[in-house]
Structure 1
Amino acid sequence: MTAATLSPLPEDKQALAARLIEGLDVAALHWLSGYVAGIAAQRQAGGKAASTEAVASVTESQARLTVLYGSQTGNAKRLAEELGRRATAAGLAVRVVRADAYPVRELKQERLLYIVISTQGDAEPPDDSRALIEFLGSARAPKLESLRYAVLGLGDSSYPQFCAIGRQVDQRLAVLGGQRLFTAGEADVDLESVSQPWLEQALQQAREQLKTATPLAKVTPLRTARNAPVWHREQPFAAPLLLNQRITGRHSDRDVRHLELSLEGSGLRYAPGDALGVWPTQAPALVDAVLGTLRLDGETSVQVAGEALSLRTWLGERRELTQLTRPFFAAHAERSGEIALREWLAPTSREALAELFSRWQLLDLLRRHPADWTADTLVAALRPLAPRLYSIASSQAVVGEEVHLTVSHVDYAIDGEARWGAASRYLAGRAEGETVPVFIESNERFHLPADDSRDIIMIGPGTGVAPFRAFVQERAERGAGGKNWLLFGNPHFQSDFLYQVEWQQALKSGQLHRIDLAFSRDQADKIYVQHRLREQGRRLYEWLEGGAHLYVCGDASRMAKDVHKALIEIVAEHGTRTAEDAEAWLNLLIQQGRYARDVY
């Protein structure tokens, strides 16, 4: 006997229910179950509540804090959930909602709203927030004279339009009549220096705003709360390295590593699509070079927030040295007194400065434009070291208490001197048996469809192929009936075809149903994955029309934009739509969770 046979729903309603829950994550499903349970309780009580539903909804919103978050890499989600925990501990009624799970019709009823949202690349919203941003900017957005709000924007100051989406939301809510409770926060990659004071102020304001509010009813949890994992961002697990293997050929100009780490005894769990956070340390040679350039003694003691460490330890374990940031560049320009450096900071030089940041590291600025720094002022001006997130390249259902990564070792030269990426250098230099501090970062929007009969299309050039190795492993283990299509690209077939043998075996065994390859440098005209997409445009559109899920992973600056442009053209051509309608159709897929991107 099937679940459908036991269902009290008519057959047509069963189909509607299945469509309703398609693509929803666990949090959204729990919210929906509570919503439906509330309606059932009202009807069971005699239907009285139905006549006062609108009044109850408004009254409830007056007594509650809503925290919305828009997150691409997980930081905004983490901070929003932290605020939710603090508010709950303070006895406040609060709900924390991902932007694409928020019913925008409820906005006009909100009385206290906090929004935590990141900015991606060149002033792009997170994928989960596109519909919300569009709604706020449209004529359909309601007047919000009764709303009190605050915004925390997250961004990266190395990009020209730092925290642009946070600013946009903050200004738009004010235009709609909302009352800003306090100045919007703008947090750089070192989140805590801005986010923690913002969270404290947000909680204090929430207490003030809700101090006279009385909850209408006790909220009963729909599931038993789980304890926080023992190992997390602030307390990483020391994972022993099991394998560190180069998987590009000897003639390749790229050094890509396949890494396998043990999670044995950690209790850490992950799903395909999640990321592994890695806490690196700086290479001693780079620390020595910075100290030598500035003529500073590495053994000098520096105290920050009550913690005293040697300058060498601060630089090696606590501060960013391979990335330039706008705040440090500005501070260095002030110290050097060079007019040329100040001109780089002019609004008209944003693009040029971003291009400079893509080439120069800290050491290049220090050497080309000397300035005096003390140990104390240097540590204070540098950005705190942040963990790096890598898409997981394995299914835990297949590899057990292991986690696999695909890492490109960033290693190049400027004026004949070596430069490298902090985390990739750190990982590439680890020997088997050594440990790596790691934690799991969930990425719910990049998970496989719950319905195993759905087809999936995976676009992952370069190391962007990593999560799709996990996808294919997982789908094979689950015996998924849906088809799997991979599009992969890299410079050369002979030296850069990552996991070639595995893909060939997957094709032979039927675990992978189609693969299209784009090796850009193997012919006179460069061929990229977006060219293969256009060649297979009709087939791709048919898959999407048939309910397939589409995933893109890799470079955000060019690849993801080029792929999205190609998708618009394909949908316009084969769906007989205008370009504008084609983009709207793709945005709908994003909202439905059928077009997901993990780009960086």
Structure 2
Amino acid sequence: MPERGNADQRFLLLYGSQKGLAQSLSQDIQEQAEQRGLYAERHCLSRTSRAFELAHERAPVVIVVSTTGDGEPPDTATKFVRSIQRKGLPPNHFCHLRYTLLALGDSNYTNFCNCGRTIDQHLAKLGGHRFYPTGHCDDAVGVEEIAEPWIEGLWEVLKKELGGRQWTQANENTMTTGRDPVVRSEGCIGMVKESEFTVTNTDAVSNMSSTCHIKGGGKTAPVLMEADKTLEAFIERSVRPDKAAVGTCEALEPSPSQKPKDAASFSQGEEHGSMSSGDDKLITVLSMSCRNLSITSSSETKSHSSPANSQPPSAWTRPAPHLSNVALNVPSLPASFLEIDIQRNTHFDDFRVESMVDLLPKASSSIHWIPVVSAKRLTQLDAIKTTMELWLDVSKTSLNLSPGDSVGLICPNNSEEVSYLLQRLELEAVADCLLTVHLTNANTRKGVQIPVHILSQCSLRMLFTHILEIRAVPKKAFLRSLAEHAEDPTERHRLLELCSRQGAADYLQHIRKSLVCLADLLHSFPTLCPPVALLLEHLPCLQARSYSISSSPLQHHGHVRILFNIVEFPTSVYRASPRRGVCTGWLTELVGLYVRGDVTLTSSMDDATAVASKVPQVPLYARPSTSFHLPEDRSRPVIMVGPGTGLAPFLGFLQHRKWQQDEEAEPAGEMWLFYGCRHCKQDYLYRDELEAHMASGVLTRLLVAFSRDNVHPSGAAAGRPTRYVQDNLRIYSKDVVRMLLQQRGYFYICGEARNMAPSVHETLVEIVVQEQSGTKLEAMRTLATMKKEGRYLQDIWT
């Protein structure tokens, strides 16, 4: 193993993670570095000035960082980002620094990979030299699509940065997958037994041109490899990135005459870059046709069927014909590092949700148990979606919330799903016994630790109920590990296909887009039975769910209102039975019959003690917003866009302004609300409350669009039908431009991020172009300036 002090082998590896993915990728880089004889000194970005100091770092630096929310840095990177943004730093502050960066983000959000871009921009601005192109990973299509080739290409460049020292990869000629030997072969793919694989070592260097092409969605789209530093290009990327340019490919299209090469989305400042495949190991499933692989009978292989559905597995779980004769490039098998001990004679059930406070994102308070004082269904029984309202009593807490803030609800996993996992994994007999977790004595992974969310003492039922995100969509590394525990060779082969680079399209369709989780895999692959320790290594921490408050503490002191749609997932080829969202399903069970609509849970909000003894309580904490608040200058006009439950924070805005109007009698600027729903009669939320705000003069204009109704009264006066909020924005384009640009007003969007928010933004661009007779680029620059000034604000979710 390389020594820490050897400067020829050492580089600094930093990560900033919110949910653990960036941390996991940095760990993969560290392990691969060790295999190549390098030493990666790895630290969290939160340890800046304690464990590392970039101002004095002479070794190459590799940074892996995620983005959370709509462009915010993860909690662990906030301090670091602020430190490099300090005013007064000289332009040559990092002139000695050689760095590269892997940014993680989600292109459904406007500020895609914004934290990574911010760090990249400031390091370069202060004189830093980027020695390898920045990678931008898109969680909307799979982080691995960019991360894997980026990491593979890193080693050849890093080798040169470290002085050209000759270094070799450990176990170059042989390797093991954990169950079967994998034999190196330099020749053609041959016929072997079903359990054997061949590793082909490809040393070719891929010299990429400035533009390559990848296949995605049936189209071939160019992927720009050069990051133009002009304002125009920056705006183009930051406002709405081209998904094709951030890795939304479904399959790579290598030249038939060449060995497989990797395409990735990189940005390299002012110059074109080349990428080296390095010691790319191509694990090849041999050319025996998958269709000829026999399925082991039930008498030969132990079968684990789902109690909910014992039907034969669906077509998506069988090997794909289009992958039957291709070389599968699969992730290397992660080495196991956890072990568990179960004390069968010791019962343990001592979980306290308050112990999770250190793991909560953006928490500004301790965890409080809050009684539900009112619950009712807002939509009609025949509405497509069921929307619920909850009033929560926070009068006995120290929570300090304002309109625009949100609360984080700490919810458990569904008890039936937990029971299924315990049964399916044959763990019911020890589900409530004391469990201890520790690192295995045979662990060879440098720097690994027990995940911080795994308690030192717990039980399996507690882990599956309160700690682990059992609904998490499995990453490719998880599928690779699971494949080792499928007894049937056909099932094992299919899992390898799904995690392979050649099976990227199948992974996207059957795993990511279908929201397949561990329970679905266990149901669909009957002989799959992984050990518990493997699940602890790969399943992330169960995340709290965030809900915007839809009330004002000025008008409803001591009480908070939240809205939510009950998320429904119907039965499909991937799910044996229907299920609901983790948190919305749990909340629905808490309020019981009230979801039916014919019963309403209400109690006197003044009698909190009596209420608390009769109704459920929910654990929550405060998540204050840094910017999504009403402007301090009340004379500024406000435009609010909130379809569906995106209306929630604006109800709080209106209540807040109503109280200010009644108590302070100060003049306020215009407030316009663009609201949308499907049907006027079935799901028009808070119609009476909104019309009351119109009557009082707090709300200047209420514009409602009904996407599924034939009558659209809000656009009737203009003689134009309106189905969506964008239509009403176009109708009142002159007023929108007047309020936002001439009167320097504020624009707020709340709601769904995948389609609604980008569509509204594009509509705004059109409006500015039309009303100011300018170009699209000028309009985009105008909106980017509004964002920088804090006058274009979003509260959006996927």
Note whether the superposition's TM-score is higher than 0.5. yes
Q: Does 1:537 align with 2:537?
A: no
By how many angstroms is 1:76 displaced?
3.2
Quote the residue 2:82 is aligned against. Answer: 96
Q: After the TM superposition, which residues 95-494 of structure 1 pair with which residues of structure 2 at under 5 Å, given as runs?
A: 96=82, 108-109=92-93, 119-122=105-108, 125=111, 132=118, 141=125, 143-144=127-128, 159-161=141-143, 232=363, 235-297=366-428, 299-300=430-431, 301=433, 302-304=435-437, 305=450, 307-326=456-475, 327-336=477-486, 337-347=491-501, 350=504, 353-356=507-510, 357-362=512-517, 363-370=519-526, 371-415=528-572, 417-431=577-591, 433-479=615-661, 481-494=668-681
Query: Residue 568 of structure 1 aligns to which amino acid in structure 2?
Result: V
By how many angstroms is 1:481 displaced?
0.5
Alpha carbons of 1:278 and 1:343: their partners in 2 closer, same or farther (altered >3 Å)? same
Quote the residue 1:226 is aligned against. Answer: none
Q: Give CA deviations for 1:95-137 in whole Å, capped at 9, x if unaligned.
A: 936x9x7669866435899999862335853697699489569
Q: Does 1:508 align with 2:695?
A: yes
Q: Which has the higher contact order (CA 8 A, sep 6+)?
A: 1
2: CA distance, partners of 1:492 / 1:527: 10
Q: In angstroms, what is the RMSD of aligned CA positions?
A: 4.3
By how many angstroms is 1:529 displaced?
1.6
1: CA distance, partners of 2:136 / 2:659: 38
Q: Normalization by structure 1: what TM-score?
A: 0.68
Aligned pair count? Answer: 470
Alpha carbons of 1:265 and 1:77: their partners in 2 closer, same or farther (altered >3 Å)? farther
2: CA distance, partners of 1:249 / 1:104: 59
Q: Secondary structure at the match of 1:498?
A: coil
Q: Give CA deviations for 1:473-508 in whole Å, capped at 9, x if unaligned.
A: 112222360111111112111111111111011111
Q: After the TM superposition, which residues 38-57 of structure 1 pair with which residues of structure 2 at under 5 Å, given as runs?
A: none
Runs of 5+ consecutive residues of structure 1 not aligned to the other structure = 1-60, 85-94, 177-228
Alpha carbons of 1:163 and 1:142: their partners in 2 closer, same or farther (altered >3 Å)? farther
By how many angstroms is 1:290 displaced?
2.5
Asked whether the 8 Å contact 2:363–2:621 carries over to 1, the reply is yes
Asked whether the 8 Å contact 1:395–1:471 carries over to 2, the reply is yes
Query: Residue 127 of structure 2 aligns to which amino acid in structure 1?
Result: K
1: CA distance, partners of 2:102 / 2:706: 40
Asked whether the 8 Å contact 1:460–1:554 carries over to 2, the reply is yes
Query: Residue 404 of structure 2 aligns to which amino acid in structure 1?
Result: G
Query: Residue 328 of structure 1 aligns to which amino acid in structure 2?
Result: F
Asked whether the 8 Å contact 1:246–1:256 carries over to 2, the reply is yes
By how many angstroms is 1:414 displaced?
1.3
Alpha carbons of 1:240 and 1:550: their partners in 2 closer, same or farther (altered >3 Å)? same
Asked whether the 8 Å contact 1:158–1:354 carries over to 2, the reply is no
By how many angstroms is 1:71 displaced?
5.0
Q: Give CA deviations for 1:529-562 in whole Å, capped at 9, x if unaligned.
A: 2222222222211221221100111111111111
Asked whether the 8 Å contact 1:128–1:590 carries over to 2, the reply is no
Alpha carbons of 1:535 and 1:106: their partners in 2 closer, same or farther (altered >3 Å)? farther
Q: Normalization by structure 2: what TM-score?
A: 0.52
Alpha carbons of 1:128 and 1:404: their partners in 2 closer, same or farther (altered >3 Å)? farther
Q: Give CA deviations for 1:292-336 in whole Å, capped at 9, x if unaligned.
A: 333432634443356232222211111112331314344334533
Asked whether the 8 Å contact 1:275–1:392 carries over to 2, the reply is yes
By how many angstroms is 1:381 displaced?
2.7
Work out which of the residue numbers 683, 686, 698 in structure 2 matches 1:499: 686
Quote the residue 1:45 is aligned against. Answer: none
Q: Out of 429-438 and 459-468, give the one that drifted further.
A: 429-438
Asked whether the 8 Å contact 1:555–1:599 carries over to 2, the reply is yes
Alpha carbons of 1:133 and 1:504: their partners in 2 closer, same or farther (altered >3 Å)? farther
Query: Residue 430 of structure 1 aligns to which amino acid in structure 2?
Result: L
Query: Residue 319 of structure 1 aligns to which amino acid in structure 2?
Result: L
Q: Give CA deviations for 1:134-157 in whole Å, capped at 9, x if unaligned.
A: 9569xx946325x99xx9x99985
Q: Secondary structure at the match of 1:598?
A: strand
By how many angstroms is 1:586 displaced?
0.7
Alpha carbons of 1:410 and 1:427: their partners in 2 closer, same or farther (altered >3 Å)? same
Query: Residue 359 of structure 1 aligns to which amino acid in structure 2?
Result: S
Quote the residue 1:579 is aligned against. Answer: 776
Quote the residue 1:562 is aligned against. Answer: 759
Asked whether the 8 Å contact 2:569–2:581 carries over to 1, the reply is no
Query: Residue 596 of structure 1 aligns to which amino acid in structure 2?
Result: L
Alpha carbons of 1:62 and 1:453: their partners in 2 closer, same or farther (altered >3 Å)? same
By how many angstroms is 1:580 displaced?
1.5
Alpha carbons of 1:446 and 1:515: their partners in 2 closer, same or farther (altered >3 Å)? same
Asked whether the 8 Å contact 2:631–2:746 carries over to 1, the reply is yes
Asked whether the 8 Å contact 2:93–2:126 carries over to 1, the reply is no
By how many angstroms is 1:588 displaced?
0.8
1: CA distance, partners of 2:364 / 2:483: 34
Alpha carbons of 1:262 and 1:592: their partners in 2 closer, same or farther (altered >3 Å)? same
Quote the residue 1:78 is aligned against. Answer: 75
By how many angstroms is 1:403 displaced?
1.6
2: CA distance, partners of 1:156 / 1:279: 27
By how many angstroms is 1:388 displaced?
1.0
2: CA distance, partners of 1:173 / 1:532: 41
Quote the residue 2:12 is aligned against. Answer: none
Alpha carbons of 1:70 and 1:156: their partners in 2 closer, same or farther (altered >3 Å)? closer
Asked whether the 8 Å contact 1:484–1:513 carries over to 2, the reply is yes
Q: Give CA deviations for 1:334-356 in whole Å, capped at 9, x if unaligned.
A: 53353333333344665664454
Greater Cα radius of gyration, structure 1 or 2 = 2
Runs of 5+ consecutive residues of structure 2 not aligned to the other structure = 1-53, 58-62, 151-224, 228-264, 272-359, 438-449, 592-613, 662-666, 712-720
Query: Residue 312 of structure 1 aligns to which amino acid in structure 2?
Result: R
Query: Residue 538 of structure 2 aligns to which amino acid in structure 1?
Result: A
2: CA distance, partners of 1:281 / 1:265: 24
Alpha carbons of 1:78 and 1:130: their partners in 2 closer, same or farther (altered >3 Å)? closer
Query: Residue 739 of structure 2 aligns to which amino acid in structure 1?
Result: W
Q: Secondary structure at the match of 1:471?
A: helix
1: CA distance, partners of 2:736 / 2:120: 27
2: CA distance, partners of 1:268 / 1:163: 42
By how many angstroms is 1:241 displaced?
1.2
Alpha carbons of 1:422 and 1:376: their partners in 2 closer, same or farther (altered >3 Å)? same
By how many angstroms is 1:245 displaced?
1.3
Q: Give CA deviations for 1:365-424 in whole Å, capped at 9, x if unaligned.
A: 221123112233333332221111111211122211222111111123114722111111
Alpha carbons of 1:595 and 1:102: their partners in 2 closer, same or farther (altered >3 Å)? farther
Q: Secondary structure at the match of 1:584?
A: helix
Asked whether the 8 Å contact 2:388–2:564 carries over to 1, the reply is yes
Q: Secondary structure at the match of 1:72?
A: coil
By how many angstroms is 1:427 displaced?
1.7
2: CA distance, partners of 1:467 / 1:116: 34
Alpha carbons of 1:436 and 1:158: their partners in 2 closer, same or farther (altered >3 Å)? farther
Quote the residue 1:522 is aligned against. Answer: 709
Asked whether the 8 Å contact 2:95–2:126 carries over to 1, the reply is no
1: CA distance, partners of 2:400 / 2:102: 26
Alpha carbons of 1:346 and 1:539: their partners in 2 closer, same or farther (altered >3 Å)? farther
